[in-house]
């Protein structure tokens, strides 16, 4: 059974989704392009599996948490999983370029566009820190929830 809940955040209401074992599969913002931003009618609204996730996200937004410790269950190809795992290695308050992330994911430099696509498909907004990835020249690019949200998250981490 897929369950969900919502929580208020500086980005607006976040949609949290968990698989049947209570593992977090999605953290989505309403402004995210190309991703589900509202509950599927087949999902059950049930806040209990999200107690830890809500507490950790709240602490993150309050500047009290720098690393998440949650059971995760994102669904994606082996390539995407490798890129998402590489996102987890970017420390709080740090940024990397898409090229650096490509190297961290063990992919050749020619894969940078595919890596960027995997970053854009990250279903675990904030928890998997895709907001910490920048363009080659340090420009803010490619954040599914929008550049204003990316600025907010990077600003929060640099405070």
Of 32, 116, 130, 154, catalytic: 130
Within 10 Å of residue 19's Cβ, how many Cβ atoms? 18
Is residue 15 within 8 Å of residue 26, measured between CB atoms? yes
From residue 122, alpha-carbon distances to 42, 82, 125 in Å are 22, 11, 7
Q: Tell me if residue 130 is catalytic.
A: yes
- 2/105 Cα distance (integer angstroms): 30
Give the catalytic positions in this structure.
130
């Amino acid at each position: 059974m897929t369950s969900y809940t919502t929580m208020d955040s500086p980005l607006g209401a976040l949609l949290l989704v968990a698989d049947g074992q209570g593992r977090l599969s999605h953290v989505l913002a309403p402004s995210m392009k190309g991703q589900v931003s509202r509950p599927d009618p087949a999902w059950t609204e049930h806040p209990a599996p999200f107690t830890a996730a809500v507490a950790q996200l709240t602490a993150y937004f309050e500047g009290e948490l720098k690393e998440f410790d949650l059971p995760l269950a994102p669904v994606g190809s082996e390539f995407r999983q490798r890129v998402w795992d590489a996102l987890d290695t970017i420390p709080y308050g740090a940024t990397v370029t898409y090229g650096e992330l490509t190297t961290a994911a063990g992919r050749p430099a020619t894969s940078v566009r595919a890596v960027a696509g995997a970053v854009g498909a990250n279903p675990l907004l904030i928890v998997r820190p895709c907001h910490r990835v920048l363009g080659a020249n340090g420009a803010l690019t490619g954040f599914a929830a929008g550049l204003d949200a990316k600025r907010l998250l990077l600003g929060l981490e640099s405070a």
